[in-house]
Amino acid sequence: MVENDITITLTESQHELLLDVLTHAQDAMNLSLPFDGLCELPFNNSIVQRYTMTENLKELLQELWSDRFE
């Protein structure tokens, strides 16, 4: 499999839907983890890695969303 970065073009509604999905996924992770769950796990744990990736992707989409209003 080629592991290069990919580029996709989203419509406004797709962008907002994806941002909502990531927000809800992160909310679900926050509810399912114990209060200090991520702090207790090592950084290379797959749960921590996926949570961090979801958080980073959500932040990227939020930045792109705010750029639409400039």
Dist. CA 67–CA 65, nearest whole Å: 5
pLDDT in tens, 9-30: 999 999 999 999 999 998 888 8
- pTM for the model: 0.76
Q: Structural domain boundaries of the chain?
A: 12-67
Tell me the torsion sign for CA atoms 25, 31, 35, 38.
negative
pLDDT in tens, 37-51: 677 777 888 888 888
pLDDT greater than 70 at residue 35: no
pLDDT greater than 70 at residue 8: yes
